Chains A and B, each alone.
Chain A
Amino acid sequence: MTMIGHYWVTIERDRCRSWQQPWKCGACVDACEHGVFERDSQGRIYVANELACVGCKICIEQACPNSCIYVRPTTPEYISRGVWTTQTVEEIHRKAETGEYELRGFGTMANIPHFDGLVVVPSQLAGRPPRDKYREPFDMEVIIGEKTSSKPIRLAVPFVLAAMSYGAISKEGKMAYAVAAARLGTMANTGEGGMFPGEAMMTHGYDNSRAMKKGVKKWEPGGYLTVQWSTGRWGVSLDYLVASDAIEIKIGQGAKPGMGGHLLGKKVTADIARVRGIPVGTDALSPCRHYDIENAEDLGTQVEILRDVTNHEKPIMFKLGPARPYEDTCIAAEAGADAISIDGMAGGTGASPEIVTQNVGIPTIACIRQAARALRDLGVKDRVKLIALGGMRNGADAYKAIALGADAIGFGAAAEIALGCRTCMSCHKGGCHYGLATQDPKFRTCLDVESSSQRLANFVSACAEELKILAMLSGHDNLRTITMDDLRAIDLNTAAITGAKLAGLERTFPESWEKFEK
C-alpha cells in the first residue's frame, strides 16, 4: 500500500510560537525528515506537504514545545495500517518502558460473536399464534432448588444480578444491588469478598434489624442473597453461609477463566482488609482453584457438606467460566448443583490482565447451547437451572439466551452501567467517580443508594418487559417453551457456533448440528 495520503497534519495556529513571534522556534521544520513543515515569507510555519507525512510523530513527541501539532490518520487505522495500529504500537512501547503487562477492569473489548448475529422469529400463520403482550398473562417465574431445598428461590423475573465482591465495589454500590434485588424480587450475589453487615437484611427488603423483627419490608417484594464459596474464601464463615439464601461455588468467571479474583491494594482499605482478613493495601489475589477440592468427587462432597451445614435449606449453585461448557456443566450437575451460572467470554471483571480478558474464553452465545445440551443429556434440564451471563444488555439478549437453553440470565456490566458506570475500564484503579468501583470516601458519597437502586430496578423491569414482548410475539405464554426454533442466525459464524438455523436457508449450518437435537 502506498504511503501517500495517510495522515492529516494540523498546526494549531493560536498556540504555535511562530504565529505569535515570526521566525521563532521552527523545531518541527528541523525535526521532520520529510519536509512536511515549511515557513512562509513572513516566518510563520505551515503544513506545506501533508502527503509526505509518514506518521512517525517525531514533530509531536520530541519537537513541538507547545504540543500544538496534530497527526491523525485519514482512514480508519484498521484499513490503512492492518495490525499495526497506534494502539498496538503504543502498547509495545509501554511494555518496553515498564516491563509490565497491562491490567485493567471491565471486560473484553475484543470483537467476538455476540447475540447481534441472531434474530427472533415472530409468529404469523404457521406455528403458534402470537399472544397479546398488553392483555394476556405471561409467566416468567424461575424456581431454583425446588426439589432439593426446603427454602427454594423464586425469582419474580428471570434476571439475576451477577456476582461482584465487596472490595471491587463500594459499600454503597453493594447496597444499591441489595436494594434493587429487593425491589425486583430477584437475586443479588455477594461475590467473593464476604458480606458487609446488613447485606442479607437489605436484600430481603428490610432497612434495619428492628424492621426485620417486626416483618416490615421497606422494599417490596424482597429478594434473595447468594453468597459465593470461592477460591479465596474471603469473609467465609458459618454465619455467612447461614445468613444467605443460596450458595454459589465459584469455579471461574468469563473475564478471566482459569484465574482467581483480583483486588488490587489501592482498594484494600481498612474495612475491606477487616472483612477479608488481609493487611491494608495488599493485593487480594485469589487462588485460581480451590485448595480443598482436588477432583470431581471432592466437589460432590463439598456440595453435600454445604447442604448439611445449612440444613438443606438453600440451593447450591455453581459459577463456571467459559472453557469446555458441555463437560464442565456435566461435572457441575453431577456434583449436585441446583443451578449453574455459565459466564461467557464477554463477562466483566474489576481487574484482570488485559491479555486474558481479550483472548481467553468462549463467546457467551457458544457456551449456552452446549451447557443446556449437557443438562438435557443428563436428564436434569428441568431440575438444574441454567443461568447465562456475559455481556447481556437487554431483553433481546435475554430472549436469545433463553432460546439457546438458559432458564435465567444475569446482568453484571449492564447493572453497573444502570448504576452510573461509563465503562472507562479503570475499575482496578479504585478512582471511580460514580462511586461504584472505588473505596475512596470522596467518591463513595456520589452514589445515592435509594435512587441508584431504583435506576437498576427500572432497568431490569424494562428488560423484563422487552423479554415479554419478544416472547409473546413469538407465541409463548411462558419462558420454558422458547426453543432454538424461535431463533435464526443472520450470518454463517453465528449459525455455525450456535446451531441456530440460518435465515433464508431454514436449516442448521453445518448440518451436523442436527444430531444434537435428537
Chain B
Amino acid sequence: MTMTLDLLGVTLHESNLRLRRSAESGEEVRVSNASHLKGLCGGLRKGTVHVEGDVGDYFGILNNGATLVVEGSAGRFVGDNMTAGKIVVRGDVGDGAADYCYGGTVVVGKSAGDFLGTMNKGATVIISGDVGNHAGTYMTAGDIIILGDAGEALGDFIIRGSIYVLGSYDSLGSNTKLEKMRSDDIDKLNTVLGKLGIQANPRSFEKVAPASSKPFYHEQPVVARKVIGP
C-alpha cells in the first residue's frame, strides 16, 4: 500500500513523525514538496520513502535501516551518520554526501560535490557521475565507487577501506597508494554494480588504498644521536 504526503509548509518534526509512523506500519510513502526541509527522513529504522523532486540538506541523516529514494537532487550531507539502510538519489548531491557513515549504501545517479564520504567507517557509496575534491577524506572503512572522474586529494589520509575510480582524478591525497585490482575487488564490484544494474567493467577501475594505517605518530622517531663530548 502506498501513502502520499504533501509536505508543503509542514515542519521538520511533523514531517518526520508522520514518516516514522508510516514506516512502523510498513506502508510505502511517496513524499512531495520536501525541498525546504533539512533533515527529512532523519533517524528512520525501517520502511521505504520515495521523494518526488528535490530534497534539502541532511537528507536521511542517521538512517538506521530505511530505504530512501529521491527522484530529483539532494542538498549537502545526504545520509550523514547513516548506520544501515539504503539511500538512492537519482540526481546530483551536494558537498559532504555520506559523511561519517558506519554502514548502509548510498547511490547517487549523477555527480557529487566535495568531501564525499568523509570519515566513512563502513558504508558503500556509489557515484555514477563525477565527484569533487577531497573524496574519502580520513576514511576508516567501507568502499567508495566512482564511475566518473574525481577532483583533487582523492582519499586524503585514508587509513582503511578502498576507493575505486573508473575515470581520471586530478590528484591523490596524502597517505594513499594505488593498488592492483585483486580478484576479491573485482567480485565485490561485480556484485555491487550488478545489483544496481550499472554496466561497467570492474577491471578498468583504479583502486586507491591507504599507504599506512598509522600516518601521524610513530613509535620510535629517533633520527639524531646524543651530543658527544671530547
Q: Which A positions have Cβ atoms within 8 angstroms of B?
A: 31, 58, 61-62, 93, 96-100, 103, 232-233, 236-239, 241, 264-265, 276-279, 281-283, 285, 287, 291-292, 294, 298, 301-302, 304-305, 307-310, 312
B223 at the interface (CB under 8 A from A): yes
In Å, the complex CA distance between A232 and B81 comes to 11
A31-B228 Cα distance, complex, nearest whole Å = 13
Query: Would you call B122 and A277 a contact (CB within 8 A)?
Result: yes
Question: Complex Cα distance A285/B80, Å?
Answer: 20
How far does the Cβ of A311 sit from chain B's closest Cβ, in whole Å?
8
Among B16, B45, B100, B214, point to the contact of A238 (Cβ < 8 A).
Answer: B45
In the complex the two chains form, is B229's CB within 8 Å of A287's CB?
no
The answer on a CB contact under 8 Å between A309 and B42 is yes
Interface size class of B (residues with CB under 8 A): 35 or more
Given A97-B226, A279-B160, A312-B13, 9 more contacts at CB 8 Å? A58-B229, A61-B229, A232-B119, A264-B217, A279-B140, A291-B99, A292-B80, A294-B76, A309-B16
Question: B140: nearest residue on chain A (CB-CB)?
Answer: A278
B:117-153 near A, CB below 8 Å: 118-119, 121-122, 137-138, 140-141
Determine if B61 is an interface residue (Cβ-Cβ < 8 Å).
yes
B128 nearest CB across to chain A (Å): 23
Q: Which residues of A contact B38 (CB under 8 A)?
A: 301, 304-305
B192 to chain A, nearest CB (A): 20
Interface residues of B (CB under 8 A from A): 12-13, 16, 38-39, 42-43, 45, 57-58, 61-62, 64, 76-77, 80-81, 83, 95-96, 99-100, 102, 115, 118-119, 121-122, 137-138, 140-141, 159-160, 213-214, 216-217, 221-230
Q: Contact at B102–A277, with CB atoms within 8 Å?
A: yes
User: How far apart are the CA atoms of A99 and B225 in the complex, in Å?
Assistant: 11
27 contacts between A and B (CB under 8 A): A31-B230, A97-B223, A98-B222, A99-B221, A236-B100, A237-B64, A239-B64, A241-B43, A276-B140, A277-B140, A279-B140, A279-B213, A291-B96, A291-B115, A291-B119, A292-B77, A292-B80, A292-B96, A292-B100, A302-B58, A305-B42, A305-B62, A308-B13, A308-B42, A308-B43, A309-B43, A309-B62
Q: How far is the CB of A315 from chain B (nearest CB, A)?
A: 16
Instruction: Tell which of B96, B119, B224 has the most Cβ of chain A within 10 Å.
Output: B119
Check if B118 sits within 8 Å of A236, measured CB to CB: no
**A94 to chain B: closest CB distance in Å?**
10
- How far apart are the CA atoms of A87 and B12 in the complex, in Å? 57
Assembled-state Cα–Cα distance A420/B178 (Å)? 48
CB distance from B142 to the nearest CB of A (A): 9
B229 (CB) vs chain A CBs: closest residue: A62
B138 with A287: CB separation less than 8 A: yes
Q: A277-B141, A287-B119 are known contacts. Are A238 and B222 too (CB-CB below 8 A)?
A: no
B131 to chain A, nearest CB (A): 15
A308 to B62, CA, bound (A): 11
- Residue in A closest to B15 when the chains form the complex, CB atoms: A308
B216 touches A285 (CB 8 A): yes
**A310 to B96 CA separation, bound complex (whole angstroms):** 23
What separation, in Å, do the CA atoms of A238 and B41 have in the docked complex?
13
Chain B residues whose CB sits within 8 angstroms of the CB of A265 once the complex forms: 214, 217
| Contact of A282 with B214 in the complex, beta carbons under 8 Å | yes
User: Which chain B positions have C-beta within 8 A of A276?
Assistant: 140
B69: min CB distance to chain A, Å: 20
When distances are taken between beta carbons in the complex, the residues of chain B under 8 Å from A62 are 228-229
Choice from A233, A301, A304 contacting B119 with Cβ under 8 Å: A233
- Assess the A301–B57 pair: CB atoms within 8 A: yes
**Chain A residue contacts of B141, Cβ below 8 A:** 277-278
| A308–B61 alpha-carbon span in the complex (Å) | 11
- How far, in whole Å, are A236 and B224 apart by their CA atoms in the complex? 42
Asked whether, in the complex, the Cβ of A281 is within 8 Å of the Cβ of B214, the reply is yes
A310 to chain B: closest residue by CB: B43
- Given A99-B221, A292-B99, also A237-B62 (CB < 8 A): yes
User: What distance in Å separates the Cβ of B27 from its nearest Cβ neighbour in chain A?
Assistant: 20
Complex Cα distance A238/B83, Å?
8
The docked-state distance in angstroms from the alpha carbon of A62 to that of B229 is: 7
CB distance from B208 to the nearest CB of A (A): 17
Bound-state CA distance A309–B213 (Å) is: 34
Q: CA of A61 to CA of B227 in the docked complex: distance in angstroms? A: 10
Minimal beta-carbon separation of B144 from chain A (angstroms): 15
A30 to B226, CA, bound (A): 21
Partner of B83, one of A237, A264, A282, A283: A237
Chain B nearest CB from A314 CB (Å) reads: 13
